Structure 1
Amino acid sequence: MEVTLVVFIDDLDRCLPSTSIATLEAIRLFLFLPNTAFIIAADDRMIRQAVRAHFHGTELDDDLVTNYFDKLIQVPLRVPPLGTQDVRAYMMLLYVENSSLADDEKERTRSAVCKQLSESWKGRRVDARFMKETIPSCPNDLKSNLDLADRLAPLMSTAKQIAGNPRLIKRFLNTLSIRMSLACSQGVPVEETALAKMLLFERCADEAAYSKLLSKVNESEAGNPAFLADWEKKAVSGEGPKELPSPWNSDFIRDWLALEPSLADMDLRAILYVSREHMPIIAPSDRLSPEATGILEALIGLTRKSSSLSEQIRLLSEKKDVSLIMDRLLVRARRENLWGTPNVLFAILTVIDADASHAAKFGDFLARISVEQLNATIVPRIGNYGWAGMVFEKWKGNPATPGRVVKAIDNLGNTIL
């Protein structure tokens, strides 16, 4: 047959290590068939981690991992990170897509932007001015959004926590839109440009700096961070500040200070109100390392414990990632209304199997949940863990605990209690 078979495989890096390796090994069987090609889209760092996890216990150094890849991936193509020009165009097109423009006008604008980008090597720019000229009947709200994208793009492309990642940029804009909607629905006066600047700081600045900024706002009777005044003035003038005290001394914060509008004289309490932690914010999984993010996503989909994921967790280079993963899972756990064997239970137990130091936190969580939510099926799932004894004692000591749960605990005998 005169047919060329092309197989596209996406998100391989989000699979469990065993699945990733099994898929690659299956591909190997077809590599030398004529008229056959495989296109794999994946973060090679995650796949390398999967290779190490799969061959754990063997002397597998980086060179051997690279050789494994070279034999499978014959033509590697790396997608370059987005530059400021690309980020600006992407943000503006997202705003155009969500605007009130007619579909044909949106498509015409998209084509014009693509053409302009293809000639960016000639010095052509996609900026707010170009977009407004391209859209003669540009609505006022879209003009404001285009101006906002123009100002945010440089920081969105250089801040290491976003680094021009389209997925993170889209989440940022979605969060901004959600918070503005919350403000409007509750009648809270919030300026979108100021909200965007604060959201960017929340997302990209050091956590200690963000906490201090919130403290300064709360301490001020007028709700304004007056201490920023001199720094913002120098940043806008281009004179600095070159050195800032800890934890403010970073390139991101120096660039952020120059971003309009200046916040020193602005009451930020309304912005903090719509930015409270229980409101929708950028997913905490974006602050994890790429390896930990993939592990968290895999954990969320578990229907039973996974020893391979436990091994991946043990191999994480950043130990703080394990704590962050556990915290994210506990957030999900608090949403459960029935505690028998919800999926999040298997995810948490997988983490505990990798790092027992987090067992006490989960034990305390289980001891505090409403006993009306308990189902007897949870008892054998956690019964083999030493920390479960304290949990069972709490449950048995509560007269409201369902009888089947108490009976299940008693059936375990005295091996735990």
Structure 2
Amino acid sequence: MKWTTANIKHVNYTAKHELYVGTHTGSFKHLVPASDKTPYGQINLSDLSALDKDSRITSLAFGNDDQTDILLGRAKDAVEIHSFTEKGHSKKTVSFNAAPVVGLARYNDKLIAGFGNGQIQSLELEASDESEPVVITTGDQMDHLRQCAQVRSIVATGGKERQNNLKVYDLNSDGKQIFTSKNLPNDYLQLEVPVWDSDIGFVDGPSVLATCSRTGYVRIYDTRKQRRPVACFASEEHGMSFTTLVAKGNFIYTGTTMGALKAFDTRRMKTHVHTYKGFTGGISDLHLDTSGRFLSSASLDRYVRIHDCETTVLLYQCYVKSKATKILIRQFESDSVALEETVEAAELQMDRNVSENKSANTTSVDNEYEDMFDQMPTVGDSDNESEEETSVIKHSKANLKRRSLGQSLKNKKKKVVNS
């Protein structure tokens, strides 16, 4: 498929999905690509009037196995819990002692948050507002915190520099550190290999993890075997600065700052096996659906996309008006009532936006026309104007006569030369 910036939906994309998107401006949007009427309709779930410069969404994660709760973190010390039930949408806000939030998890009615200063804070959801969170220090800087989907008591962290490399913690043992990675041996100049674990992913279990780096490597660790990576991909190519990662089965999907989305096979890490096209900006987040077939992505070019993991076909693309920073994809369970209500709400919001744009355009056009007509001179029926019109007509007739006479003389000269 050719590169395009239009909103598109592939004819073969029939899966029932919905997207939750966090943006750089702080808006939290809901999209339903499964809708036939409004597949690009967007519903804003956040209060736009309360957003400020620190409202950028820095983390999105599902809070339970049913994927009905969404944990939302911003570049501030507040974390939002959005619940979606049959009764509707509700929101709860929990305050911490640090910022920004770089990762969220939920375990045993506890909210676990990772922060940029290297702390993991755990807080009881039912505790009073004055209760202090339990703090675990992982280093002095953290880029990401991930929770294992199979064993939810296991979380992993990673950041920049060797002291903030990959670490794994068990929340059942009061946050005990159960694994820390070891860097590769020094290079041929006996210099330390730079470490920057920008994102982490669990590969179908708590024992195997994958990390990507801003310095251009993708590594696989097995906590049961050794501290150093068991497989590694390293690139010196310009632009291979990895920002986000998601893993499923034998494949690892990574996004770069230059808008490249690549898939690696864990069984042979020498090079990538798939490349997904359509991006014009850096990729900020990736998320797979439960089946592992559909890969959703958020990009700084203000588009969200869904690709087929096997065929690499771009199935869905939608413009979300702001730089997309985080994304979640979920299977739409109820295909009747909930979908119709969402579609109707999206249609109402789109109609409202269209009417506002029309009214604004009409007002601006009318003002322009009024100013233009005010500046135009008034046309009158004076004798001087009639005389000028008569002289112009006579002058044009004289020009026509001269042109016809000149053409006839040219024709006569041609006949004389030919004879």
Shorter chain as normaliser: what TM range? under 0.3
Q: As a proportion of its length, which structure holds more helix?
A: 1
TM-score (norm 1): 0.23
TM-score (norm 2): 0.23
Structure showing greater Rg: 2
